Chain A
Amino acid sequence: MPPDVATTNFTGLDWVIVAIYIVFSVAIGFLVRRYVTNMTDFVVAGRTISKWLGVATVIGTEIGLVTVMYAAEMGYRAGFSAFHIPVVLAAMALLVGATGLGIVPLRRMGVLTIPEFYGRRFGPNTRALGATILVLAGVMNMGLFLKAGATFVANVTGLQHEAHIKWIMTVMLALVLAYTMLGGMLSVVLTDYVQFIMLSIGIFVCTGFALRATGWSSLVSAVMQHKGPGGINPLVSESFGITYILFMCFVGMAGVMTWQPNVVRACAARDTRTARWMFVGGSLGFLIRQLIPALWGICAFAYIAGNPAMAAAFAQGGSKTSMDAMPFFMARILPTGVLGIVMSAMLAAFMSTHDSYLLAWSSVIVQDMVAPMFPHGLSERARIWCTRVGILAIGVFLLLFGLWYPLAGQALWNYMAITGAIYFAGATVVIIAGAYWRRASSAGAVAAIVAGTGSVLALAPVRSAVLPSLGRLLGLGASEIARLESHLTEANITLSCTVLAVIAMVVFSILIPDACDGSSEGPS
């Protein structure tokens, strides 16, 4: 590997800074264990979280290392055009907040999870199916968090041995699992606050150094020279275009309205007005969390494009991928010491996202899948232990999945959007129909949830395995199969599955209506 490509400013001093920070952060998580006495303490911190601490934990959760990595990768790949993604997501959060679409009926019903809404509106079978799909999609969505983290650590530290990186990430995950399992939401909230402070310092330091190393006008000229107008205007970009923007509109709206970590906040709000305000105010967070890292990705692109040896390493068939670009760039422009602080900030982002998501998904497993199986309910202690087992099981899955799953050239952000869509393509239809259409039936809800899972076809490894076989089955030639693959983009597949879910909901609700036994709660 040429010296230009192999060097990093990360030294022993940076390792010491990282070690001190991790010990400090994790110790806080362990120390609060003594305050946990029941399930309410464990899952919702005794419902004692006030607004600023709530905001810190929301930002700590939403700006994960994986967020930084996928947004930076999109900036590197697509230039300024990638900025349209955070703009669309923020606009959709604003729209949902302003209109109250979906979230107001959910808050009025007083549910805490989407499967609970399914259960009260459509019955226990729909609840069990919905919870299963939600957990599967949610855990798959987390599947590449470790891989993104490992890529960051490898590029910043310059560690060449894959085994070393895997061990570092395994230890990080084990620490998060340990303090989340023992201290629950209390540990999560306190560590999130510390991690929010570190993360914010890291964001400003990185942005300052990145812009100083490149300069705004250099970014513009590099993007224009290498990517053309498509690097600036998303409407004419090869990576995006109008269908992709529509896909992002759907991902933004459905993600805000149906994704469990977002829904639980709206449902825990004091009233419907507060729930709506959370999304109106939160839209700023949706903008910032992707826009600033995307800017770092563009800075990395301009920096690498200006150095032929580096550009060769990042060219097709080279030793580096687009996911490596941002951390590779940071390892060269940030001085020793500062790099240790930024590394700590990014590991803070890694931990703060993992802990909240682990708790969110394991809570759904216990509340919506395990507890309903016990007619006499589960004791507080049993619920806490089931949640702990769920956290551990998800952690083990993440470790295995993150090690073998091939991205196959797919952008990390598209992987995240698609795994989310496996769940919310159906969930959005079920929630809107369940809340606003009196004739929506449980058969329609089940059919819509199942139709939405078809979005799994948009994942690159699934698409490359299924589409050629499908083409051959239909008697298509090689050129026709290639044309089919080019038409069936990630955006087209996901949007088609959503339309299919709408059709399934309408047709099955009309053909198989629910018996009017008064057991379910209709739209208010």
Chain B
Amino acid sequence: MRRIIGGPELNGWMAFWKALTIFSLVAYGILVLVVAVGGLADIASMFSSLDRQHQQSGAKPGRETPS
């Protein structure tokens, strides 16, 4: 790589870009796993909360509040 680029300054930039690319891919991979699993549980709790809210307010699902 040193021969292709030529110059320690550009080598420094390339090393930085490469490290950043690897970091981004690894970090995003971890994030996707955590969010995919946690998101499923959140969806279930969101619907149970909405059902609870509607039961308390007496609103019928599928009907918009008229007032």
Residue A35 interfacial (CB < 8 Å): yes
Total contacts A-B at CB 8 Å: 129
- Least CB distance from B21 to A in Å reads 6
Instruction: Decide yes or no: A221 and B66 within 8 Å by CB, A80-B14, A288-B27, A295-B21 being known contacts.
Output: no
- Residues on A with C-beta less than 8 A from B17 are 80, 83, 232
What is the bound-complex CA distance between A48 and B48, given in angstroms? 10
Q: Please determine whether B43 and A41 come into contact, CB atoms closer than 8 angstroms.
A: no
What is the bound-complex CA distance between A41 and B20, given in angstroms? 40
Instruction: Decide yes or no: A233 and B9 within 8 Å by CB, A48-B49, A80-B14, A288-B24 being known contacts.
Output: yes
B interface footprint on A380-406 (CB within 8 Å = 1, 0 otherwise): 110010000000000000000000000
A interface footprint on B42-60 (CB within 8 Å = 1, 0 otherwise): 1101110110011001011
What is the bound-complex CA distance between A200 and B65, given in angstroms? 38
Q: Please determine whether B13 and A38 come into contact, CB atoms closer than 8 angstroms.
A: no
- Residues on B with C-beta less than 8 A from A178 are none
Nearest A-chain residue to B41, judged by Cβ: A52
What is the bound-complex CA distance between A490 and B6, given in angstroms? 32
Query: Which of A112-120, A168-176, A189-197, A342-350 has 4 or more CB atoms under 8 Å from chain B?
Result: A189-197
What is the bound-complex CA distance between A291 and B41, given in angstroms? 30
Tally of contact residues, B, Cβ under 8 A: 45
- Least CB distance from B19 to A in Å reads 11
A interface footprint on B9-52 (CB within 8 Å = 1, 0 otherwise): 11001100110110011011101101111110111011101100
- Residues on B with C-beta less than 8 A from A186 are 50
Residue A224 interfacial (CB < 8 Å): yes
B interface footprint on A233-251 (CB within 8 Å = 1, 0 otherwise): 1000000000000000000
Interface centre among B31, B46, B57 (most CB of A within 10 A): B46
- Residues on A with C-beta less than 8 A from B53 are 46, 48
Instruction: Decide yes or no: A50 and B45 within 8 Å by CB, A292-B28, A295-B21, A381-B67 being known contacts.
Output: yes
What is the bound-complex CA distance between A87 and B43, given in angstroms? 33
Q: Please determine whether A37 and B67 come into contact, CB atoms closer than 8 angstroms.
A: no
B interface footprint on A262-295 (CB within 8 Å = 1, 0 otherwise): 0000000000000000000000100110011001
What is the bound-complex CA distance between A193 and B35, given in angstroms? 9
- Least CB distance from A379 to B in Å reads 6
Residue A217 interfacial (CB < 8 Å): yes
Q: Please determine whether B65 and A87 come into contact, CB atoms closer than 8 angstroms.
A: no
- Least CB distance from B53 to A in Å reads 6
What is the bound-complex CA distance between A190 and B40, given in angstroms? 10
Q: Please determine whether A53 and B13 come into contact, CB atoms closer than 8 angstroms.
A: no
Instruction: Decide yes or no: A381 and B14 within 8 Å by CB, A48-B49, A59-B35, A291-B21 being known contacts.
Output: no
- 13 cross-chain CB contacts under 8 A: A35-B54, A37-B63, A41-B50, A52-B34, A53-B38, A55-B38, A59-B31, A80-B17, A190-B43, A232-B14, A232-B17, A291-B20, A384-B64
Instruction: Spell out B's residues near A (CB within 8 Å).
Output: 1, 4-5, 7, 9-10, 13-14, 17-18, 20-21, 24-25, 27-29, 31-32, 34-39, 41-43, 45-47, 49-50, 53-54, 57, 59-67
Instruction: Spell out A's residues near B (CB within 8 Å).
Output: 33-38, 41, 45-46, 48-56, 59, 80, 83, 87, 186, 189-190, 193, 196-197, 200, 203-204, 207, 216-217, 220-221, 224, 229, 232-233, 284, 287-288, 291-292, 295, 379-381, 384
